[in-house]
Amino acid sequence: MKLIVSSSELLKGIMAVSKAIPAKSPLPILENFLFDLKDSRLSITASDSELTLKTEVEVESTEEEGKIAVPAKHMIDLLKALPDLPLTIRTASDSSFQCIWQTGESTLPYFPAEDYPEPTTTDDTAVNVQFPADELVDGISSTVYATADDEIRPAMNGILFDIDLASTTLVASDSHKLICYTTKKVKTSEKASFILHKKPAAILKSIISKESENPVDITFDTKNAIFRFDQTVVICRLVIGKYPKYREVIPQNNSNILKIEREQLLNTVRRISVCANKASNHIKMDLKSGSLDISAQDLGFSIAAHEQIACQYDGEDLTIGFKSPFIIDILSNMNCNQIVMKFMDSKRAALVIPAEEEEDSDKICGIIMPIMIS
């Protein structure tokens, strides 16, 4: 192998896939990038066996094609220390390769490409959909924080992609809160679904450009999903399991309705939660026509706080308790100016949605379970 490539472009390429490199692996070969030079393009692959990232970098010139596995940490450290300049990479006959720049060079070992595991693929039952890049990023951003860490129910550790004839809904829940993000821009001729683990979901969120005009092409079967966008391919193993029937737990007839500025409610909860018991994080909401009183106390440290704010509330007087981090999570991850919270009573789940005049009013909904208060 021999090529000349821009050091900054090469660094950009390896950083795009480096999130798949494991810190330590039972397969030492996976602590390397796979370089595959062909037709004046350098393909770079990284994998931890569950997740594979692959991208392409255009090279300035090619003298000899080839395929090698190169140490990930050494390559990243070297390229970060180099300015933007032409870099020559060439293999030697002693299982080493040289990185040569204008004023110096470095010699590193490489490993046979044959030792690098082949990426998984989908089978003949695979379903294909196209997702607008901005919708996919927004959908993951709006839901991934609500996933669980549940060893008993692994399905809860990911985002459900529920693809229907007229729309697609992304769902995440940790049993205390549930978030749904619905888009009408993605649909199929027949129903399909898959559960994407939170780790690849977070990586996709970080590397997909919302400004990209090209959609993300998704192919999936019962075990794997492949995401293709720009020059990047993400291959990940799906979570196997059955997702709960989330639509059945979304309240439909909550008649006590609070309408309030999202930022105002968020900041108030943050202030009051400072005095909440650190073990329970309980806060109490007292709702009356025209006002909302939020309070918290920690009897062990003799501290307490409350704040009354004006609001639009239509319903019966109601006192209800919540864990403050769940309220903060939901409000922090909505982008609307005004939100609506709908309550049935102090014991049943509350529904949180953007106000009707908001752009995302038909896209996002959240439910949050109350807690018992004394």
Residue 21: pLDDT band (50, 70, 90) is very high
Dump pLDDT digits (tens) for 162-200: 999 999 999 999 999 999 999 999 988 889 999 999 999
The predicted structure's pLDDT at residue 374 = 67
pTM for the structure as a whole: 0.91
- pLDDT digits 0-9 by tens, 224-239: 999 999 889 999 999 9
Strand partners, 160: 171, 195
Reported confidence tier of residue 26, pLDDT bands at 50, 70, 90: confident
Q: What is the edge-to-edge ordering of all strands in the sheet holding 61-64?
A: 61-64, 2-6, 86-91, 96-101, 104-109
Give 212's pLDDT tier (boundaries 50, 70, 90).
confident
Instruction: Give the per-residue pLDDT at 220.
Output: 95
Residue 140 has pLDDT above 70, yes or no: yes
pLDDT computed for residue 306 by the predictor: 95
Q: Token digits for 265?
A: 């409610």
Residue percentage of the chain with pLDDT more than 90: 88
If residue 311 lies in a helix (H) or strand (E), which one and from where to where? none
Instruction: List Cα–Cα distances, 355 to 201, 262, 322, in angstroms.
Output: 28, 10, 21
User: Residue 288: what pLDDT?
Assistant: 96
Burial class (CB in 10 A: 0-12, 13-18, 19+), 97: buried
Please compute Rg for the chain using Cα positions. Answer: 25
Q: What is the pLDDT of residue 210?
A: 83
pLDDT digits (tens, 9 = 90+) for 290-329: 999 999 999 889 999 999 999 999 999 999 999 999 999 9
Q: What is the pLDDT of residue 236?
A: 94
Quick one: what percent of the chain has pLDDT higher than 70?
100
Mean residue pLDDT of the chain comes to 94
For residue 135, count CB atoms less than 10 angstroms from its CB and return exposed for 0-12, middle for 13-18, buried for 19 or more: buried
